[in-house]
Structure 1
Amino acid sequence: MKLKCVFFILFIAFTTMAMKAGNLPIPVSVNESITVTLFFPSEIKKVIEPAPNYKLEYDRNGKMATLVARKGAASNLTVITKNGYIFSFLLQYETEVDNFTYVLAEDQAIGKLNGSSVVELSGTNGDVTIQDEKPVDQEPIVQIEVTTSETSGSKENNDTDKEVGAELGPSAMATEETPENAGSSLYDSDREGYYRIFCENSYLQKSKFKKISNTVNLIGLQLNNIIKDHNDLHFVLEVKNNSWSDYKVKSLRFFIKSLEGSREIQVKDLFIYNLQESIAAHNSNHLVFVCKEFVLGEGQNIYVLLEEDGGRERSVMLSLTSQQIKHSR
């Protein structure tokens, strides 16, 4: 009997972890006349605020938050609770709101920070603050500023010829804790979890470039931003399907190629966020491609190729020069 109980407990624990690993942002509809209330399983410790047209109010160390909104684009909200659970929300303005109250459980979180660490990300300037959950009178362990220009499972590249990595030099402050060598505890201990949180707060950014896009047979591929963080590059992309049929994605890959040569140097992805397997007709897909920082040689460009499953007539490719990448950071 005891053995059966042990197996049952292990099964429940495994099922709970699997649910968290596959959780997506919780969609929340909100407007200016309906107040939506969120109840969390433990106290609210950190909040990554949504766009200005969404107003979030909560008491520090309280378990309840309220949301109202005025008309505007969709945005995202991330809340980290005292026990380290990370809750992600996709906020959308709607004239009609059906759900007024959300009572959240821990298994609805997209993940949990290791130990008792809590991460605070700012989606506007890229500041990251990391601290242990110690008593209020103690100082944070380390504060980090990640320099950026702004602020799912990934598809693997099976045809990788060569990985392109960052050219890193020794730090002048190797014996001290600095933003680059200290990093965040989450970045070091749970790289995928860190990427997920960072991408969650960047993938819906509007384009900061004017004409870095290409369209083939009503399928558009657009570069919205390039963000440098921890010697990684985050390419914020948008795929637009303006056709009358669904677009099934075969692969998304980056490669470096000389203008005069034929050899392709594949750029290995570290993480791909929110790339859909199929993009419905007249819909778009925002995503982030993360790779190690690289340096283009003279006469080299980097190419972004989105391939359609089952044919090449709607595959789309972008070409980026070293100047475009340099100016974006």
Structure 2
Amino acid sequence: MKSKEVILVVLGLFCIVVVRGQRVLDTIYTNETTNVALFFPSPVQQAVTGHEGFVFSYDREEAGYVGLLQGVEGPNSNLLVITSNGGVYAYILSYAKELLQLNHFVQKEHRIGIERPNAAKVPINSTSHRVSGHNEKIIGKLLGQNSKSLARERKKGMVFRLEDMHYIENDVYLVGAIKNRSGIDFEVGYLEVLRINGSKKRRASYQEIQLEVKQTVGLSHTIATGETIRFVLVMPKFVLGDQERLKLILRELQGNRTLEIIY
């Protein structure tokens, strides 16, 4: 299986899509010398092409509404896009030397389905502060320790930090913190934990695989301006390979703010 096909399979695991009936996918034509722009009704959250001959570029940090597409002559491929409100869009990609349309304004009605978050995305719900008896002492001890900083990102007054990582019996405990100095409350949408392999500079070998999170403790719905919270994620035991790293992505519920850290 080619690496790009692997990435498509992995992205398929990110969501369960509610399909709104079968329909023929639209074809978008592109080439290697011209940017073809796609404007979506909601910010682009994730996107992947089925063949490395086609490249779809979008703002991963600010979650913008536009993506730019280029491709080289070769076999047809496909594009899958998931927007921040859960909309799923899919297209056939084809090469054309001469392009008749350079801008595509995507309507909400063009989506093929809606994403349903699965267990790999850490939900922020009413049970996130409950601690089972088995883990209560462990988590209490971890939250009571002095904070460290294994990895962090600062952006626009927000600080997202991975403080510690512990292997205890059959689980992995990640200790993190979020500080809000932005002047605007940060409403948490969800938090993703991924295992990454390779480098984005070599797109053909880059993979992201979501990891399961069994329990969250201390992860609030809202981090008010001026507030700092610490939290613990409890995960089934995993071991990173020599070429693998851990990636945490914190996404805002309604706004466009996204924070990423890599350890």
TM range (shorter): 0.3 to 0.5
Q: Larger strand proportion, structure 1 or 2?
A: 2
TM-score, L = length of structure 1 = 0.38
TM-score, L = length of structure 2 = 0.47
